[in-house]
Amino acid sequence: MKVAELIEKLNLTVFESGENMNRELTGGYASDLLSDVMGKTKPDMVWITLQSHVNIIAVASLKDLAAIIIVHGQVPPSEVIEKACAEGITLLGTESDTFLTAAKVYQCLFSDGTGTR
Protein backbone atom coordinates (compact mmCIF):
# COMPACT_ATOMS: atom_id res chain seq x y z
CA MET A 1 0.00 0.00 0.00
CA LYS A 2 1.18 3.48 -0.86
CA VAL A 3 1.47 6.29 1.71
CA ALA A 4 -1.27 8.27 -0.07
CA GLU A 5 -3.67 5.30 0.17
CA LEU A 6 -2.96 4.89 3.89
CA ILE A 7 -3.72 8.58 4.44
CA GLU A 8 -7.09 8.15 2.75
CA LYS A 9 -7.99 4.87 4.49
CA LEU A 10 -7.13 6.12 8.01
CA ASN A 11 -8.28 9.69 7.36
CA LEU A 12 -4.91 11.04 8.51
CA THR A 13 -4.06 14.73 8.83
CA VAL A 14 -1.31 15.80 6.45
CA PHE A 15 1.00 18.32 8.15
CA GLU A 16 3.57 18.00 5.37
CA SER A 17 3.21 15.90 2.25
CA GLY A 18 6.95 15.32 1.82
CA GLU A 19 8.65 14.49 -1.42
CA ASN A 20 6.93 11.21 -2.25
CA MET A 21 3.52 10.00 -1.10
CA ASN A 22 3.60 7.22 -3.68
CA ARG A 23 6.17 5.24 -1.72
CA GLU A 24 5.14 1.64 -1.21
CA LEU A 25 5.03 0.88 2.54
CA THR A 26 7.03 -2.13 3.73
CA GLY A 27 5.69 -2.17 7.29
CA GLY A 28 5.28 -0.07 10.39
CA TYR A 29 6.96 0.61 13.71
CA ALA A 30 5.50 2.08 16.91
CA SER A 31 7.94 3.57 19.41
CA ASP A 32 8.69 6.80 21.26
CA LEU A 33 12.36 6.01 21.87
CA LEU A 34 14.44 7.54 19.10
CA SER A 35 17.35 5.12 19.40
CA ASP A 36 14.92 2.21 19.23
CA VAL A 37 13.61 3.59 15.94
CA MET A 38 17.16 4.24 14.73
CA GLY A 39 18.15 0.70 15.56
CA LYS A 40 15.16 -1.33 14.45
CA THR A 41 13.29 0.28 11.56
CA LYS A 42 13.73 -0.62 7.93
CA PRO A 43 13.43 1.65 4.88
CA ASP A 44 9.92 2.63 3.73
CA MET A 45 8.26 1.83 7.05
CA VAL A 46 5.67 4.16 8.59
CA TRP A 47 6.61 5.27 12.13
CA ILE A 48 3.88 5.82 14.75
CA THR A 49 4.87 8.00 17.73
CA LEU A 50 3.68 10.56 20.26
CA GLN A 51 6.93 12.49 19.95
CA SER A 52 6.41 15.68 17.95
CA HIS A 53 9.70 17.54 18.38
CA VAL A 54 12.14 18.39 15.61
CA ASN A 55 14.47 15.41 16.11
CA ILE A 56 11.90 12.93 14.76
CA ILE A 57 12.49 14.41 11.28
CA ALA A 58 16.22 13.62 11.34
CA VAL A 59 15.50 10.05 12.48
CA ALA A 60 12.95 9.50 9.69
CA SER A 61 15.27 11.03 7.13
CA LEU A 62 18.38 9.08 8.16
CA LYS A 63 16.45 5.78 8.22
CA ASP A 64 14.63 6.43 4.89
CA LEU A 65 11.23 6.01 6.57
CA ALA A 66 8.21 6.58 4.35
CA ALA A 67 6.19 8.66 6.83
CA ILE A 68 5.66 9.63 10.47
CA ILE A 69 2.22 9.47 12.13
CA ILE A 70 1.92 11.61 15.28
CA VAL A 71 -0.81 10.29 17.59
CA HIS A 72 -3.25 11.83 20.12
CA GLY A 73 -4.17 14.73 17.84
CA GLN A 74 -0.96 16.56 18.63
CA VAL A 75 0.00 19.30 16.23
CA PRO A 76 3.77 19.57 15.72
CA PRO A 77 5.36 23.04 16.13
CA SER A 78 5.84 25.01 12.91
CA GLU A 79 9.63 24.47 12.94
CA VAL A 80 9.04 20.71 12.86
CA ILE A 81 6.77 21.02 9.82
CA GLU A 82 9.31 23.30 8.14
CA LYS A 83 12.07 20.76 8.81
CA ALA A 84 9.90 17.96 7.39
CA CYS A 85 9.38 20.06 4.28
CA ALA A 86 13.13 20.75 3.95
CA GLU A 87 14.00 17.06 4.36
CA GLY A 88 11.13 15.79 2.18
CA ILE A 89 9.54 13.80 5.02
CA THR A 90 5.82 12.98 4.98
CA LEU A 91 4.45 14.12 8.36
CA LEU A 92 0.99 12.90 9.34
CA GLY A 93 -1.32 12.99 12.35
CA THR A 94 -4.26 11.17 13.90
CA GLU A 95 -6.61 11.73 16.84
CA SER A 96 -6.25 8.05 17.65
CA ASP A 97 -3.73 6.49 20.06
CA THR A 98 -0.64 4.41 19.26
CA PHE A 99 -2.26 1.00 19.82
CA LEU A 100 -5.28 1.63 17.62
CA THR A 101 -3.21 3.35 14.95
CA ALA A 102 -0.75 0.47 14.81
CA ALA A 103 -3.64 -2.00 14.58
CA LYS A 104 -5.26 -0.07 11.72
CA VAL A 105 -1.94 0.28 9.85
CA TYR A 106 -1.32 -3.44 10.27
CA GLN A 107 -4.78 -4.21 8.92
CA CYS A 108 -4.21 -2.00 5.90
CA LEU A 109 -0.77 -3.40 5.09
CA PHE A 110 -1.20 -7.04 6.01
CA SER A 111 -4.94 -7.71 5.87
CA ASP A 112 -4.32 -11.27 4.75
CA GLY A 113 -2.56 -11.92 8.07
CA THR A 114 0.66 -13.02 6.44
CA GLY A 115 2.54 -9.80 6.98
CA THR A 116 5.99 -9.82 8.41
CA ARG A 117 8.36 -7.03 9.16
Contact residues for another protein, defined by CB under 8 A: 32-36, 38-39, 43, 49, 51, 53-55, 58-59, 61-64, 79, 87
Between 7 and 51, whose beta carbon lies closer to another protein? 51
Residue 36 makes CB contacts below 8 A (sequence gap 6+) with none
Between 8 and 19, whose beta carbon lies closer to another protein? 19
In the complex, the smallest distance separating the C-beta of residue 79 from another protein, rounded to whole angstroms, is 8
Quote the CA–CA distance of 116 and 65 in Å, as a whole number.
17
Between 8 and 39, whose beta carbon lies closer to another protein? 39
CA dist 22 → 12, 69, 73 (Å): 15, 16, 24
Between 21 and 58, whose beta carbon lies closer to another protein? 58
In the complex, the smallest distance separating the C-beta of residue 74 from another protein, rounded to whole angstroms, is 14
Closest Cα partner for 4 from 17, 110, 73?
Answer: 17
In the complex, the smallest distance separating the C-beta of residue 80 from another protein, rounded to whole angstroms, is 10
Closest Cα partner for 34 from 48, 54, 55?
Answer: 55
In the complex, the smallest distance separating the C-beta of residue 78 from another protein, rounded to whole angstroms, is 13
Asked if 102 and 30 count as a contact pair (C-beta separation under 8 A), the reply is yes
